[in-house]
Amino acid sequence: MRHMLSSAVFAGFAAGLLCALLQYLLVQPNIVLAERYEAGELVHFQGIASPEERAATSHAAHGAHDTAAPVEEAGHDHGAGAEAGAYRQALTVLFAVLTYCGYGIVLVAGMNLAEQVGIKIGLSQGILWGLVGFMAFQMMPALGLQPDLPGTPTTDLYARQIWWAATAAATVAGLWFAAYGTGLWQRAAGIVVLTAPHIWGAPGLSSFGGIAPPELAASFAARSLAVGMITWAALGGLVATLWHSEPAK
């Protein structure tokens, strides 16, 4: 068990660093730019929205979550500061490492379970498992809950978290049965489980009111998914390799 945990933590650490680097290069510039729109420093279609309208939109974006003035609101949401300072980068690295260590540990537990029932996990299987993790924990939840830039109006946080977690769980279970199930019925049931949260439906937006330009949001969505996919593939490969690196388990 110690070997399981340590290999997952090493893999998660490395994958987290990779993720933080890719994020710094690709994703964070979008977040910082979106925050400048959120704070009212930049305005999409400058000259069309009045300051009052902007303040109202920015306020609505945070809805029930805050009643402070828009300026304070920006400071509140991004306690690390709206600028991309070293402190903020350090926190992002820390949380990237934490998140992927967590995912790595979940992954190694799954791999161990698979080996118990006779499924061998090598490097290429590990990468595939990583990609499945990406599907379960990022891609499929994003199908209902699109990656949102700061300042995007949203619905009830709790409902979204529940749907997110249910979708991740259903994707893992569904793909397991679709891939390793015996007979047509188990595989078909896997597909049904996989699809269920999407048929049920995500707690979607009731209106559109994003402050940032759609091009920025599109770039953010594509890049955050791409970074997730690359990181997860690396994580899966690393976990499988490190876990089998010593004969003792």
Partner 1 sequence: MNLTQTSARSTVLAQTLFVALVGLTLVFAAGFAQSHALHDAAHDMRHSTGFPCH
Given the rule CB under 8 A, which residues bind partner 1? 1, 4-5, 8, 19, 23, 27-28, 31, 62, 65, 77-80, 88, 91-92, 94-96, 98-99, 101-110, 112-113, 116, 137-138, 141-142, 145, 147-150, 154, 157, 160-161, 164-165, 224-225, 227-228
Closest distance between partner 1 and the C-beta of residue 174, in Å?
A: 18
Identity of the residue, 107 or 242, whose beta carbon is nearer to partner 1 in the bound complex? 107
Q: Are 127 and 28 in contact (CB under 8 A)?
A: no
Identity of the residue, 47 or 57, whose beta carbon is nearer to partner 1 in the bound complex? 57
Q: Are 136 and 175 in contact (CB under 8 A)?
A: yes
Closest distance between partner 1 and the C-beta of residue 43, in Å?
A: 21
Structural tokens at position 36: 């400048």
Closest distance between partner 1 and the C-beta of residue 50, in Å?
A: 26
Length of the chain: 249
Residue of 68, 74, 54, 29 whose CA lies nearest to 211 = 54
Closest distance between partner 1 and the C-beta of residue 193, in Å?
A: 18
Identity of the residue, 3 or 44, whose beta carbon is nearer to partner 1 in the bound complex? 3
Identity of the residue, 28 or 58, whose beta carbon is nearer to partner 1 in the bound complex? 28
Inter-axis angle of helices 123-134 and 86-116, nearest 10: 120
Q: What whole-number distance in Å separates Cα of residue 47 and Cα of residue 53?
A: 11
Identity of the residue, 184 or 248, whose beta carbon is nearer to partner 1 in the bound complex? 248
Helices and strands: H and E segment counts in the chain: 10, 0
Phi, psi of 78 (to 5 degrees): -125, 70
Closest distance between partner 1 and the C-beta of residue 183, in Å?
A: 23
Count Cβ atoms below 10 Å from residue 72 Cβ, excluding itself: 11
